[in-house]
Amino acid sequence: MTRFQDKVALITGADRGIGRALAGRLGAEGCRLVLHSHDAESLHKAVAEEGWPHEQVLTAVHDVADSEAVEASVAEAIERFGRLDHLLNVAGVAHPGGVLTTSRQVWDATLSTNLTGYFVAARAVLPHMKRAGDGFIVNMSSIWGKRASAPGGGLAYSVSKWGVEGLTKGLAEEARPWGVRVSGIVLDKVDTLFAENMPVTLTAEQRARMMSTEDVADATLAILTSSPRAHVSTVELDAWQWGR
């Protein structure tokens, strides 16, 4: 039996990037997967390409901040698999722009996906984890949730990640008596589609010095397999080759 053979993981933003890397790694170890995305075509393509058997995967297509849709998907997962062990909050959007160049539409959409979506998913799964007396929630954050964004570099994204930092710490304290551990992974530069929204065009050499989605998956699985006596509150992953 593998480390995740009897586990069930809900992953948001599971059709691409970090979410898909996590799904691939966990699925390969026999974990049952509840995969959320707003892009039906991309999600179904990912499932087909990975070749997971039908009985291992449950998919849901919706806006990550749609409370009713998320709660319905979680209820369906519990009915089908009987449990939810891991929530991996990955879904996110990023747009360049400062206070004078960020529209209200972009502002609202960014906070809705990057912050409210994390809250909605956590609120949906925590009652089940509380009853089980066990579980993990891992929230993907960013260095821009710990420092001010560069001028014009993505104010809404940075603010959303500052919110994720607060949400992670608050959930960790609230869920501790229930036996549920809540961790955050603070990411530096990762080579995903987010790179296309950076305010400068990256060269192939620069992208090669970024972290890969597999690097993030390594850190996430390390958290999920950590000692029950330990709580990994925060992991910071630095793209240390970037400045070399």
pLDDT single digits (tens) 74-90: 999 999 999 999 999 99
Spatial CB neighbours of 49, under 8 Å, sequence gap ≥ 6? none
> For 65-79, 121-135, 143-157, 222-236, which range has the lowest pLDDT when averaged over its residues?
143-157
What whole-number distance in Å separates Cα of residue 97 and Cα of residue 107?
10
The pLDDT value given to residue 244: 65
Who contacts 33 (Cβ-Cβ below 8 Å, separation ≥6)? 8, 9, 11, 14, 23, 26, 27, 52, 56, 57, 58
For the chain, the domain total comes to: 1
pLDDT of residue 200: 61
Task: Work out the average pLDDT over 11-20.
Answer: 97
* Mean pLDDT score, 205-211: 81
In a domain, 1, yes or no: no
Give the predicted TM-score (pTM) of the model.
0.94
Task: Give me the chain's average pLDDT, please.
Answer: 93
Within a domain: 198 = yes
Q: For residue 244, is it within any domain?
A: no
Judged against a pLDDT cut of 90, whether residue 149 lies above it is answered with: no
Given a cut of 80, whether residue 9 has pLDDT beyond it is yes
What are 16's strand-pairing partners?
Answer: none
In degrees and rounded to multiples of 5, residue 125 shows phi and psi of -90, -25
Does residue 241 register a pLDDT over 90? no
In a domain, 63, yes or no: yes
Max CA pair span of the chain:
55
Q: Is residue 60 part of a domain?
A: yes
In this predicted model, what pLDDT tens digit does every residue of 161-182 receive, in sequence order?
Answer: 999 999 999 999 999 999 999 9
Q: Does some domain include residue 27?
A: yes
Residue 2 lies in a domain: no
**What is the mean predicted confidence (pLDDT) over 180-188?**
97
> Is 242 part of any domain?
no
* CATH number (domain holding residue 175): 3.40.50.720
Higher pLDDT, 242 or 177: 177
Angle at 116 between CA 110 and CA 122, to 5 degrees: 140
Residue 206 confidence class, pLDDT cut points 50, 70, 90:
confident
Q: What is the 3-state secondary structure (H, E, C) of the chain?
A: CCCCCCCEEEEECCCCHHHHHHHHHHHHCCCEEEEEECCHHHHHHHHHHHCCCHHHEEEEECCCCCHHHHHHHHHHHHHHHCCCCEEEECCCCCCCECCCCCCHHHHHHHHHHHHHHHHHHHHHHHHHHHHHCCEEEEEEEEHHHCCCCCCCECHHHHHHHHHHHHHHHHHHHHHHHHCEEEEEEEECCECCHHHHHCCCCCCHHHHHCCECHHHHHHHHHHHHCCCCCCCCCEEEECCCCCCC
- pLDDT at residue 196 is higher than 60: no
Task: Tell me which residues are annotated as active site.
Answer: 157
Please report which confidence band the pLDDT of residue 197 belongs to, taking 50, 70 and 90 as the band edges: low
Domain that holds residue 78: 8-237
